[in-house]
Structure 1
Amino acid sequence: MYSIKSMPSTSSVLSAYTTFTASAMLVRTVIKEVQTLTNQIIPKPIQEMILSKLGAFARNQASSQMTIVIEEFIGYSINQLYEASEIYLRTKINASHKRVKVSMSPKEKILSLTINRGEKIIDEFQGIKLIWKFTSKDDKDSSPDGAKNRAMELSFDKEYMEEVLNSYLTSHIIESSKAIKEENQVVKLYALGNFGGEGNRGGWSSTNLDHPATFDKIAMDPSLKQALIDDLDRFSRRRDFYRRVGKAWKRGYLLYGPPGTGKSSLIAAMANYLKFNIYDLELASISSNSRLRNLLVSSSNRSILVIEDIDCSIELQDRRTVDRNNNSQLTLSGLLNFIDGLWSSCGDERIIVFTTNHKDRLDPALLRPGRMDMHIHMSYCTPSGFRILVSNYLGINNHELFPRIDELMTEVQATPAEIAEELMKSEDVDIVLEGLIKLLQRKKTESIEGETEVGDKRKAREEIEVNENINVDDGDQWKAKKMRILMRDQADLRQASSVPWFCGAEPIGN
């Protein structure tokens, strides 16, 4: 706490004031002398010109900057330049940024960095200073499904506009993002709705596809598998061919067969092989043709659109299904136009995969080439398929019980899922294979009994039909009628005791 004694004296204050005043007068004198000297050396017109140029420079300094806005969507379509910029700028984040979001999925090799809204990233290209800024706002009127309307703002000196547009964006950013994406490619699985992903792109939300399926692990006929691989390779390298013949760069596949034969696993293997994202399209949740088109154009290139169980996802037999809540319609014609109509050309390098357990239930219009170009029958497990499964699950390629298993597998119908489940029941190879033999023997016995029951029913019906056509005298009418009733009762009894079958289900075992 200050005391009166510690305060400076009046003489000290006056002395300091006098010194300050003298210094200020000296500065003013020096400035005046410099101005006089300048006026003597530099003529007045030149001084005015210099001051005018400096003022114009100061006034135009702010207006010399140009800003380009790159929005995430072009209508319902994803802006590829926004996507490329987002990937590229992740490599430009450094310690100068105060707040950074970090994420890493199980399959990603490096950390994924993103900046918050309002943060800036400074880049340099051929001596040009470029300032990037990330923005977003909630705008239900201008973004699909009420998603956040995200954008990148790029600012630079307007004199470099041509270099920025023709070299920096179209070449440097696009090519760099492709290299980064290929090096750190993670296959994404998209579904309708928003379940906590980064944004909501046209109604789709994503998560990483961590399915480990590969073609080496798929238990299917080797020749059919190789034919599919060759077809995928041929499709992926024929961009110029599709453009030359005037066709959209897309391919359709139909996977059909009983449940448990590996249709979903094959789709995952296709995605992992091509490094294509998967879009799981549930027709039952789509209310109209326009909604279907919006979802198509908002999906990205190099993707697989999947429609599983198309025979039972919605009723298309009448070529129309109506949503009574909003009176909108999804029609078969809308689905066909989605597959190979004008809207199917909104994107490149796309694959459409349909799955069904009952190919015979599909409308023939869906099955023709151009819509489902390749039909792949996913059948019951074969000896070659068993070899793949036993190698995957048990790590062996040969065993003394293999010949017996191969023989049984050609006599019964067992799905790869059933075989795989049996192979997981123990770590002891002998116990597992013996259990598999018992399963196949049991299925063989059930198959024989089922065939016998079907034969007995057919024979009983034939006997009834024969007896009903027997010509008898009037005196024997009562005996014939009694015999027909007895045989019908026996046939009904045998039919009632048989194992029931349900639509789309396997028979119930003992």
Structure 2
Amino acid sequence: MLRVQDEHCRTPEAQPLTEEEISMMVLKPRSGYDLEEERLTLNFQTMLTFMEMLTSLITAAGVIVLCPLVKGLVPCSFLNNLFSIYEEYFCTPKITLFFRTDCGLSDNQMYDVASTYLRAKIVDSSKCLNVGKTVRQERPTFDIVPGAEVIDSFQGIKGLKWKLHAEKGFDGRECRRYFTLSFDKKLKEVVLESYLAEVISRSKAIQEAERVLKLYSRDFVYGTPGREWSSIVLEHPTTFEKLAMDPEQKRMLKVDLDKFISRKEWYKKVGKAWKRGYLLYGPPGTGKSSLIAAMANYLKFDVYDLDLTSIRSDSALRRIFLSTSNRSIMVIEDIDCAKLEDRDKEEASDQLILKKPKFTLSGLLNFIDGVWSSCGEERIIVFTTNHKEKLEKLDPALLRPGRMDVHVHMSYLTMDGFKQLVSNYLGINGDHQLLEVIEALLKNKQVTPAEIAEELLKSEDPNIALRGVVEFLEQK
């Protein structure tokens, strides 16, 4: 009220106001213009206050990010909240998808899909490339390196950012890799429903175009960290037509393989895992490894070479089996040398010593024909041995159908097998004056295809080579 009286008395010749007049002026409503002006003033002050707070927030975030000492002193919960607020107001909302090498107990197929798909993109999109070429490759191959980014587009949408990450273990060595795909949140539906489907489709097309048989091994796992297998291209030239085996035996094997491949629905109907087991047995040099290569070439299946002596526990074997792909051949050579105890001895040893993780015959049998054997389809397991009788002594259950369905005896060289070798090495498909002599000698000699093949390599002249075979057989 004093302020009102003071302002009124500043006017020349103004008379002091009475208390009633002062009260009426104080209680008189202000004009709309005055109210709007006060409201604008209040909003401006509020905005200034908000900007001051925001400036402090940005400054605090910058200090925390740029100063490791401060970052170490700030609680993680506060730091996460600070970054969340910063991203919400100043960054476009992002979604990041992770493509890791593993998916539970199995390999993640989406990692392979991303790797294959990006190989076709990196030459134009990435500044750093891995370049490689084997002796048999005509052209070099390119691959993405850890830390590199590839920016992709899809149906006019840009900013689909791929990146390969590499994690390191406590020893500083690379232990695992994974891809990330980052994009704006508003593109979520398009990416998940359309873009990823396109990535999968194009990856399959690339894989079919580049399709080669591979031989996998665990001896040198130098490829992608976190994987159980490394691989090379399998370029073994052996086919069924070139095998030095009995023709009827080859025919029966091909029929059995064809029947297995074509009976997917039958296996499902009868409730059996879609797999087949083969036992190849016979003396060394009779062609067991060559037969495996012929099977792989015939079926177009990759080959996994598993050395049981390197397995330390049943859980390790389970992980290794689950990391193999469908349409593949698992090879376990010289199974009689794997130092497996029969199940009675396993039970006795468990009672005498403290149980610890180990690789057992029971574990092997369960993975071949147990519940875990159904985790995959269209798979073949091939066992080889030079001494079948050792397996029979170890455990007859190992040889029964369902584990080793087909037993193939790889015998010493017969005349039919010799004729095939002569055709392969010397191009002789008809008669030769020395063939009858060699046939008579073979009836009383035990020689392997590998031994005769070595003799045939000594000369390309059929007469010289066959005379050398005769001399070899006579001295045998």
After TM superposition, the score normalised by the length of structure 1 is 0.69
Q: Distance in 2 between matches of 1:140 and 1:230?
A: 53
Q: Quote the residue 2:468 is aligned against.
A: 435
- Please report how far the alpha carbon of residue 96 of structure 1 lies from its aligned counterpart in structure 2 after TM superposition: 4.0
Task: Give the conservation status (yes or no) of the 8 Å contact 1:320–1:332.
Answer: no
- 2:126 maps to what in 1? 97
Q: How does 1:175-190 map to 2 (within 5 A)?
A: 175-190=201-216
**2:187: which partner in 1?**
160
Aligned partner of 1:353 among 369, 372, 382: 382
Q: Quote the residue 1:406 is aligned against.
A: 439
Aligned residue pairs: how many?
384
Q: Structure 1: where are the runs of 5+ without partners?
A: 1-43, 49-57, 444-510
SS in 1 for 2:120: helix
Structure 2 residue aligned with 1:239: 264
Partner of 2:319: 294
Q: Distance in 1 between matches of 2:104 and 2:427?
A: 52
How far did 1:106 drift?
4.4
1:139-288 mapped onto 2 (5 Å cutoff): 139=169, 148-169=175-196, 171-194=197-220, 197-288=222-313
CA distances 1:133-155 after superposition (whole Å, capped 9, x unpaired): 111112479xxxx8622111112
1:335 is displaced (CA, Å) by: 0.6
Q: Which residue of 1 aligns with 2:35?
A: none
> Paired residue for 2:79?
none
The one-letter code of the counterpart of 2:107 is I
For the 8 Å contact 2:176–2:224, the answer to whether it is kept is: no
Is the partner of 1:233 in helix, strand or coil?
helix
User: Is residue 368 of structure 1 aligned with residue 400 of structure 2?
Assistant: yes
Cα deviation 1:303-362 (Å, max 9, x = unaligned): 221111111221334566789999532221101011011111222222111001122221
Partners of 1:271 and 1:103 lie apart in 2 by 26
Q: CA deviation at 1:79?
A: 0.2
The separation in 2 between residues aligned to 1:329 and 1:267, in whole angstroms, is 29
Where 1:403 maps in the other structure, the secondary structure is helix
> Which residue of structure 2 aligns with residue 341 of structure 1?
370
Deviation at 1:60, TM superposition (A): 6.6
Change (3 A) 1:152 1:96: closer
Q: 1:272 to 1:412 in 2, by over 3 A?
A: same
Pair 1:66–1:294, CA change in 2 (3 A): same
Q: Which one of the candidate residues 358, 365, 379 is aligned to 1:329? A: 358
Task: For 1:135, give the aligned amino acid.
Answer: H
TM-score normalised per structure 2: 0.73
CA contact (8 A) 2:125 2:151 kept: no
Q: Are the counterparts in 2 of residues 108 and 184 from structure 1 also a CA contact under 8 Å?
A: no
- Given the alignment of the two structures, is residue 135 of structure 1 paired with residue 165 of structure 2, yes or no? yes
Contact 1:194–1:205, Cα closer than 8 Å, also in 2: yes
DSSP-derived class of the 1:228 partner:
helix
- Quickly say closer, same or farther: Cα 1:147–1:96, change in 2 above 3 A: closer
Deviation of 1:200 (Å): 4.1
2:458–2:465 Cα contact (<8 Å) kept: yes
Q: 1:216 offset after TM fit, Å?
A: 2.3
C-alpha deviation, 1:107, in angstroms: 4.9
- For residues 359-411 of structure 1, give each alpha carbon's deviation from its aligned partner in whole angstroms, at most 9, with x where no partner exists: 22212101111111111111111222112211221222232222222333233
Query: What is the distance in 2 between the residues matched to 1:120 and 1:60?
Result: 26
User: Retained in 2: the 8 A contact 1:218–1:265?
Assistant: yes
Q: 1:118 to 1:329 in 2, by over 3 A?
A: closer
Which residue of structure 1 aligns with residue 14 of structure 2?
A: none
Q: Find the aligned partners of 1:135 and 1:319 in 2 and give their Cα distance.
A: 48
Structure 2 gaps of 5+ residues are 1-39, 45-86
Change in 2 beyond 3 A, CA 1:160/1:406: farther
The percentage of aligned residue pairs carrying the same residue is 54
- Mapped partners of 1:266, 1:168: distance in 2: 43
Aligned residues of 1:76 and 1:202 also touching (Cα < 8 A): no
* Cα distance in 2, alignment partners of residues 325 and 90 from structure 1: 50
Kindly report the root-mean-square deviation, in angstroms, between the aligned alpha carbons of the 2 structures. 3.0
What is the one-letter code of the residue matched to 1:356?
Answer: T
Measure the CA separation in 2 of the matches of 1:338 and 1:221.
33
Measure, in 2, the Cα distance between the counterparts of 1:308 and 1:325.
31
Amino acid at match of 1:132: W
Distance 2:283 2:194 in 1: 54
| Contact 1:412–1:440 (Cα < 8 Å) also in 2 | yes
Please list the CA deviations of residues 242-281 of structure 1 after superposition, one character each: whole Å capped at 9, or x if unmatched: 3333222221111111111010111122223333222221
Structure 1 stretches of 4+ moved >4 Å: 58-61, 106-110, 318-327
- Residue 108 of structure 1, CA deviation: 4.8
In 1, the alpha carbon distance for the partners of 2:342 and 2:474 equals 40
Give 3-state SS (helix, strand or coil) of 2:123's partner: coil
For 1:378 and 1:336, the matched residues in 2 are separated by 24
The residue aligned with 2:456 is 423
Residues 1:176 and 1:251: Cα distance change in structure 2 (over 3 Å) = farther
Tell me the equivalent position of 2:153. Answer: 124
**Residue 502 of structure 1: aligned partner:** none
